[in-house]
């Protein structure tokens, strides 16, 4: 199975970078499943139903969220309505939406997409390992599903790496998001799971994590936090990963970082 994952889409610059390239990516890499993290797609924080529908109409198959998934209240009904959007799995079950989604290809192959939040330097959430273990009890790699893709939306690199090694051999790929800085460690772990600490963002890199520099500089210089973060809307860059898996085992054959 050929999988492509676009990292955190930040505001208009990120949306344009992804939307303008989805078809070309699908064609060049002969993609079976296109995943997009839309966590920051609406002015840098959260996402709206309209933006989600635009990505799905342009060729995204599954949308992935993160810690800002409830920043836009209008998204709540859409989380129940849309069967191809994934919010964090390690939050209380009474939240809207799903922490995992099984997407079925036209040829019958299935991919399970799971998203969890990290706990180090983040708001309090349930254990990501227990949340994933519970989902995997009824969805084993190479049996019920042909691929399993796990997004860990977290601050700490060590936490992402630890989860990668814990899931090595159990899932197809563990990809880190949230810190918006692409890391250079894309690789296949010893037991066959593709891994990267952070996919990177899709947005204007002439910025501080996709936002104009003035407010972050003020916070740095004066510990002044009242300035509003404004998205940087210069030309966007797309960062993503291409992952190819073996349909029999579900394990990774290749992982490649892509920059457009």
Please report how many Cα atoms fall inside a 13 Å half-sphere around the Cα of residue 20, on the Cβ side. Answer: 13
What secondary structure does DSSP assign to 88-157, as a single string?
-SSS-TTSSS-SEEEEE-TTS-EEEEEEEE--TTS-----HHHHHHHHHTT--BTTTBSEEEEEEE-S-H
Q: Which of 43, 68, 153, 180 is catalytic?
A: 68
Contact 131, 87 (CB under 8 A): no
Angle at alpha carbon of residue 36, lines to 82 and 29, rounded to 5°: 120
For residue 100, give Cα distances in angstroms to 66, 95, 206, 251: 13, 13, 34, 19
Asked about 43 being catalytic, the answer comes back as: no
Please report how many Cα atoms fall inside a 13 Å half-sphere around the Cα of residue 12, on the Cβ side. Answer: 7
Q: CA 15 to CA 140: how far, in whole Å?
A: 34
Q: Give me 72's structure tokens.
A: 């836009």
What residues are annotated to the active site? 68
């Amino acid at each position: 199975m050929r999988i492509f994952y676009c990292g955190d889409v930040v505001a208009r610059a990120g949306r344009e970078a992804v939307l303008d390239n989805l078809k070309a990516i699908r064609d060049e890499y002969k993609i079976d499943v296109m995943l997009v993290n839309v966590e920051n797609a609406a002015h840098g924080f959260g996402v709206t139903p309209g933006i989600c529908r635009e990505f799905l109409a342009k060729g995204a198959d599954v949308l992935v969220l993160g810690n800002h998934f409830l920043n836009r209240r209008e998204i709540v009904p859409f989380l129940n309505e849309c069967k191809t959007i994934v919010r964090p799995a390690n939050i209380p079950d009474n939240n809207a939406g799903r922490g995992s989604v099984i997407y079925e290809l036209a040829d019958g192959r299935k991919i399970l997409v799971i998203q969890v939040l990290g706990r180090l330097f983040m708001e309090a959430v349930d254990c990501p390992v227990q949340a994933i273990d519970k989902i995997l009890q009824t969805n084993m790699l190479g049996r019920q599903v042909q691929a399993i893709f796990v997004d860990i939306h977290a601050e700490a690199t060590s936490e992402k790496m630890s989860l990668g090694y814990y899931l090595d051999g159990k899932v197809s790929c563990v990809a880190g998001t949230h810190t918006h800085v692409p890391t250079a460690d894309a690789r296949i772990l010893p037991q066959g799971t593709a891994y990267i600490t952070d996919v990177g963002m899709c947005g204007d890199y002439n910025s501080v994590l996709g936002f104009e520099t003035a407010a972050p500089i003020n916070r740095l210089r004066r510990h002044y936090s009242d300035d509003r973060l404004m998205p940087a809307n210069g030309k966007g860059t797309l960062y993503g990963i291409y992952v190819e898996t073996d349909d029999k085992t579900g394990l990774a054959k290749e992982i490649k970082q892509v920059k457009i």
